[in-house]
Chain A
Amino acid sequence: MAIAAKRKGKADEPDAAPADLLRYYREMLLIRRFEEKAGQMYGMGLIGGFCHLYIGQEAVVVGMQAAITPQDAVITSYRDHGHMLACGMDPAGVMAELTGRRGGYSRGKGGSMHMFSKEKNFYGGHGIVAAQVPIGTGLAFGFKYRGQPNVCLTYFGDGAVNQGQVYESFNMAQLWKLPVVYIIENNKYGMGTSVERASATTEFHQRGAAHGIPGEAVDGMDVLAVKEAGERAVAHARTGKGPYILEMKTYRYRGHSMSDPAKYRSKEEVERMRTQHDPIEQLAKVLGERGIADEATLKKLDREVKDIVSAAAEFAQNSPEPDPAELFTDVLLEA
């Protein structure tokens, strides 16, 4: 797929500086390698419970992060590792939370689905499908209330779009012109049910139409297309025009969680997405074509990223387990 042809920007305007393109590549690669390692560690029994990998969807968070400032807020559902890494959270802290250790972001009490970073303005990680949508709307309200010029990126999936809370949020966000960008990550399957089998209409970017919220569909496998649409949406929200919906057409290569027999889609479909639409491969091609990075440079980047992930995995395995006394902490403020 030729990336450049599909974007709406003018042909003579550069979409991103060479250094930025390299950075997006590195950030996507970090998420990919991190998730591969997490999957491996889950298989080894080092991560308990549930674990939802982001592999395949990397362009969405990296492209959107490129469209905001560090003071803007981000909130998402349970497929959240990629969002945290894109926000600049420490891979070691994220991995240690996956292993439930003291060095994790929630010191072993949040797990894969519930990590937060006030410093990075990342407001979780939420395990209940669509419940983060009104919370993200509230975060945007907070910005407006305090007169801060910030926006909240509120991510949810194609499964969440049929939950009532989404439309309660759309109504309030448009009614009060809140600075929120709703990003629907349409990876085609809500767990094991395809969007066609779960949704009466599947053009999710139009789901705000009844509330007058503009929306557009974006090639979520193309980091530059994401960034460009993201900048348009963020500018809309930031200038007091209210919410904006971006439907990211994306794909997850792995199962819904680690225990997924994948009976709902064919191996060929997954293979086709991997070989023809991979976000990292596509950007590698651009980097090569524009003479920004040759294969040796990319290999070197890969080694650097692998080292970071290995160190994170090492930390996550050696960080001590939470003390049993931690069972009783942080329920209410201790007097």
Chain B
Amino acid sequence: MTALPMVEAIRLALGRAMEDDPDVVLLGEDVGLDGGVFRATDGLFKRFGEQRVLDTPLSEAGIAGLAVGLAAQGLRPVLEIQFTGFIYPALDQIVNHASRLRTRTRGRLTCPMVVRSPCGGGIRAVEHHSESPEAMFAHVPGLRVVIPSSARRAYGLLLAAIRDPDPVVFLEPTKLYRLSKEEVEDDGTALPLDRCFVLREGRDVTIVAWGAMVHEALDAATRLAAAGVSAEVIDVATLKPLDAGTIVASVAKTGRCVVAHEAPLTAGYGAEVAARLAEHALLNLIAPVVRVAGWDTVMPLPRLEHHYLPNAARIAAAARKVMTFR
């Protein structure tokens, strides 16, 4: 077993999925010969050929529609959209068609496609190269929304997403692509979708996060422990459908919850987590649920990025605030 950065674990999973199933097709802008803007598909073109690793024109709506057609034929297209800001032209196909094929055909046709896209900030790229549109997709019935936060989870969740019979929006935090390494065994084992992962157990406060914020949450938990506060950290991983049970059970124990995400605060996915807790854990709550999020602004230019992105300090401060409720 070797320790890999997340982007290499993604490549490993793509190669494994293609090896296992000739119906898996990769397509996207520069994914073939060039190996992808973040090198996620590097080497796959040579290994599997241009029939299966397809360099497409710059036509996001067109290639998303093409993928829906492939999926309707029973193939398993894995589409890379170069940055989440480029995904908006493809929304028509993802929202109006991919997500509804099962319903419209009553399951006679399904849409087993994966839309991979690098997301989130922290790499000093301008707005549409740094956005976090997960709540937008989570709002759409018929889509799964998955965000990995480590190499091992990226490998297992991507394999699960590709094997899933329904469309999955798979958002990959760019900041995590090469942030750290983790041992990944390329044995083709998928991780379960629709499940949260409890990464650190604690008694006093539950910190809920996904993507790059998971690392800030873990860092915050370490800082809190030094101050005598025991924090539980949950990686949501699959945002839709949400494994609310794991979060509710945790808050039933801790009585306090901080939700952290990069996306703007208003109508962000943190609101969904807070609402679920209000519905299912109100009487367990000792303190209000606090959201630590991006501001309600456009993702700022690089020099201001660190003022925008939530970090361990802000998460720890929020946790200390909820700890004042006894």
Binding site for B on A (CB under 8 A): 75, 106-107, 109-110, 114-116, 118, 123-128, 131, 133-143, 145-146, 152, 164-165, 168-169, 171-172, 175, 329-333, 335
Q: Hey, which chain B residues are within 8 Å of A168, CB to CB?
A: 57, 59, 61-63, 65
Q: Hey, which chain A residues are within 8 Å of B73, CB to CB?
A: 138-139, 142-143, 145-146
Contact B65 A135 (CB under 8 A): yes
Contact B97 A175 (CB under 8 A): no
B261 within 8 A of A: no
- Choice from B56, B59, B96, B102 contacting A330 with Cβ under 8 Å: B102
Given contacts A131-B97, A169-B66, A331-B103, 20 further A-B contacts (CB under 8 A): A106-B106, A125-B104, A131-B96, A134-B69, A134-B93, A135-B72, A135-B93, A136-B69, A137-B65, A138-B69, A140-B69, A142-B75, A145-B75, A168-B63, A330-B103, A330-B106, A332-B142, A332-B144, A332-B166, A332-B241
User: Measured between alpha carbons, how far is A138 from B92 in the docked complex, in Å?
Assistant: 16
Known contacts A331-B102, A332-B166; A131 and B142 CB within 8 A of each other = no
User: Measured between alpha carbons, how far is A128 from B61 in the docked complex, in Å?
Assistant: 13
Q: Would you list which residues of chain B between 84 and 133 have a CB under 8 Å from chain A?
A: 92-93, 96-97, 100, 102-110
B165 within 8 A of A: yes
Contact B104 A169 (CB under 8 A): no
Contact B104 A165 (CB under 8 A): no
B278 within 8 A of A: no
Contact B69 A165 (CB under 8 A): no
Q: Would you list which residues of chain B between 261 and 277 have a CB under 8 Å from chain A?
A: none
- What is the chain B residue whose CB lies nearest that of A114? B104
B135 within 8 A of A: no
Q: Hey, which chain A residues are within 8 Å of B25, CB to CB?
A: 145
Q: Hey, which chain B residues are within 8 Å of A169, CB to CB?
A: 62, 65-66
B188 within 8 A of A: no
Q: Hey, which chain B residues are within 8 Å of A126, CB to CB?
A: 97
- What is the chain B residue whose CB lies nearest that of A154? B69
User: Measured between alpha carbons, how far is A140 from B106 in the docked complex, in Å?
Assistant: 23
User: Measured between alpha carbons, how far is A107 from B165 in the docked complex, in Å?
Assistant: 21
Q: Hey, which chain A residues are within 8 Å of B56, CB to CB?
A: 172
Contact A135 B69 (CB under 8 A): yes
Contact A141 B66 (CB under 8 A): yes
Contact A138 B103 (CB under 8 A): no
Contact B103 A109 (CB under 8 A): yes
Which 6 pairs, one residue from A and one from B, show the smallest C-beta to C-beta distance? A138-B69, A134-B65, A168-B62, A142-B73, A168-B59, A138-B66
Q: Hey, which chain B residues are within 8 Å of A164, CB to CB?
A: 61
User: Measured between alpha carbons, how far is A142 from B103 in the docked complex, in Å?
Assistant: 22
- What is the chain B residue whose CB lies nearest that of A138? B69
> Which of A126, A140, A143, A331 has the largest number of chain B CB atoms within 10 A?
A331
Q: Hey, which chain A residues are within 8 Å of B96, CB to CB?
A: 127-128, 131
Distance in Å from the Cβ of B170 to the closest Cβ of chain A?
15
Contact B75 A165 (CB under 8 A): no
Distance in Å from the Cβ of A242 to the closest Cβ of chain B?
15
Q: Hey, which chain B residues are within 8 Å of A110, CB to CB?
A: 104-106
User: Measured between alpha carbons, how far is A124 from B74 in the docked complex, in Å?
Assistant: 16
- Choice from A106, A107, A139, A330 contacting B69 with Cβ under 8 Å: A139
Contact A123 B72 (CB under 8 A): yes
Q: Hey, which chain B residues are within 8 Å of A332, CB to CB?
A: 102, 142, 144, 166, 241
Q: Hey, which chain B residues are within 8 Å of A106, CB to CB?
A: 104-106
Distance in Å from the Cβ of A115 to the closest Cβ of chain B?
8
Q: Hey, which chain B residues are within 8 Å of A131, CB to CB?
A: 65, 92-93, 96-97
Q: Hey, which chain B residues are within 8 Å of A137, CB to CB?
A: 62, 65-66, 69
Known contacts A332-B166, A333-B110; A138 and B57 CB within 8 A of each other = no
Contact B141 A133 (CB under 8 A): no
Q: Hey, which chain B residues are within 8 Å of A123, CB to CB?
A: 69, 72, 109
Contact A330 B107 (CB under 8 A): yes
B70 within 8 A of A: yes
User: Measured between alpha carbons, how far is A123 from B71 in the docked complex, in Å?
Assistant: 12
B248 within 8 A of A: no
- What is the chain A residue whose CB lies nearest that of B104? A114
Q: Hey, which chain B residues are within 8 Å of A136, CB to CB?
A: 69
Distance in Å from the Cβ of A89 to the closest Cβ of chain B?
13
- Choice from B61, B72, B106, B165 contacting A165 with Cβ under 8 Å: B61
Contact B65 A138 (CB under 8 A): yes
Q: Would you list which residues of chain B between 38 and 71 have a CB under 8 Å from chain A?
A: 51, 56-57, 59, 61-71
Q: What per-residue 1/0 map shows which CB atoms of B138-171 lie under 8 Å from chain A?
A: 0001101000000000000000000011100000
Q: Hey, which chain A residues are within 8 Å of B108, CB to CB?
A: 116, 118
User: Measured between alpha carbons, how far is A164 from B51 in the docked complex, in Å?
Assistant: 25
Contact B166 A333 (CB under 8 A): yes
Contact A116 B69 (CB under 8 A): no
Distance in Å from the Cβ of A34 to the closest Cβ of chain B?
21
User: Measured between alpha carbons, how far is A128 from B144 in the docked complex, in Å?
Assistant: 22
- What is the chain B residue whose CB lies nearest that of A164? B61
Contact B165 A172 (CB under 8 A): no
- What is the chain B residue whose CB lies nearest that of A170? B62
Contact B141 A331 (CB under 8 A): yes
User: Measured between alpha carbons, how far is A175 from B67 in the docked complex, in Å?
Assistant: 16
- What is the chain A residue whose CB lies nearest that of B67? A138
User: Measured between alpha carbons, how far is A330 from B57 in the docked complex, in Å?
Assistant: 33
